[in-house]
Structure 1
Amino acid sequence: MQKELRVAAYAVCVRDGQLLLARWVAKDGSKRWTLPGGGMEHGEEPVRTVVREVEEETGYLVEPTALLGVDSIRRSWLRLFDGPGDWQGLRIVYEAQVTGGALRNEIDGSTDLAAWHPLDSVPSLTRVELVDIGLDLWRERPPVGRSRFTTPGNG
């Protein structure tokens, strides 16, 4: 079985009761809102990753102000020529504040739109689960950095 691990860093940016989100475009063309952020490059520090990714996806310069937590997700796959696979995503979630730049959309990336959304409207958005996880971490500030703990093997 082929195994793959992806480490990424994301930002929860809340300002004046609004959350900064980027709209992710899946390979099938579907679009869902997500926290700005993305994959670490080899040798890159997670804090630098979140700063770089937020700027790429939103145009904003940010300063991480707190480590909110770490989330893990697993997916299995079966590909025609590769056979079965097991993918794990390790997602480091920071609180961050905007320190400069200007809101703009990413060009030729995995997202196509960046926008501020009122916190009370987030539940009505078509979004990835990471948005809810990030907001839970931001609101609850769990001491172990995980708001929803599951036993090993359950995700």
Structure 2
Amino acid sequence: MAAYAVITDERGMLLAHWREHGASAWTLPGGGIDWGEDPADAVVREVREETGYEVVVEALLGIQSRVLTAAQRLLPGEPAQHQVRIVYRCRVVGGELRDEVGGSTDTAGWFALDAIEDLERVSQVDYARRVAGLL
């Protein structure tokens, strides 16, 4: 279970660069929900950790559910996994853009909406763009 943020303004869309297990792609800022943590609190925490920005949640955009078979997992021998991703529209209210240190992302940046098509990105970015009305 994870929570992710769609954040847009005049600079474009904020994305984080995910890098784990030898794979990398642009993704939404966000991540795992801690035990007992409210998903809206989790997305605020994750955005702060990955980008340096303080955000407020404005709306629930959607819930994406998918199952990865063992063969689809990045690491051999991992079991099948059911992923539930809660996607929120958020707004930056403070902080400064910075890179995450020691996490699953290594940098974050703003991208013009028409430039996102050219990025190596996870499918979740396109799902989020659809539910946010950005496609």
Q: Which residue of 1 aligns with 2:29?
A: 36
* Alignment pair present for 1:104 and 2:101: no
* Alignment pair present for 1:69 and 2:85: no
Structure 1 runs not aligned, ≥5 long: 1-6, 141-155
Contact 1:51 1:61 in 2 (8 A): yes
Q: How many residues align?
A: 131
- For 2:66 and 2:14, the matched residues in 1 are separated by 22
Rg larger for: 1
After superposition, the Cα gap between the structure-2 partners of 1:109 and 1:84, relative to the gap in structure 1 and judged at 3 Å, is: closer
Contact 1:76 1:84 in 2 (8 A): no
- For 2:89 and 2:78, the matched residues in 1 are separated by 36
Structure 2 runs not aligned, ≥5 long: none
Per-residue deviation at 1:86? 2.1
* Alignment pair present for 1:18 and 2:12: yes
After superposition, the Cα gap between the structure-2 partners of 1:107 and 1:136, relative to the gap in structure 1 and judged at 3 Å, is: same
Query: What letter is aligned with 2:35?
Result: H
Contact 2:63 2:84 in 1 (8 A): yes
Identity, % of aligned positions = 46
After superposition, the Cα gap between the structure-2 partners of 1:120 and 1:84, relative to the gap in structure 1 and judged at 3 Å, is: closer
Per-residue deviation at 1:73? 1.5
Per-residue deviation at 1:111? 0.2
Q: 1:134 aligns with which of 125, 128, 131?
A: 128
- For 1:84 and 1:53, the matched residues in 2 are separated by 25
Q: Which residue of 1 aligns with 2:89?
A: 95
TM-score (norm 2): 0.92
TM-score (norm 1): 0.80
1:5-47 CA-partner distances (Å, limit 9, x unpaired) = xx0000000011500000000201x320000000000000000
1:37-75 CA-partner distances (Å, limit 9, x unpaired) = 000000000000000000000000000100001001211
Q: Which residue of 2 aligns with 1:9?
A: 3
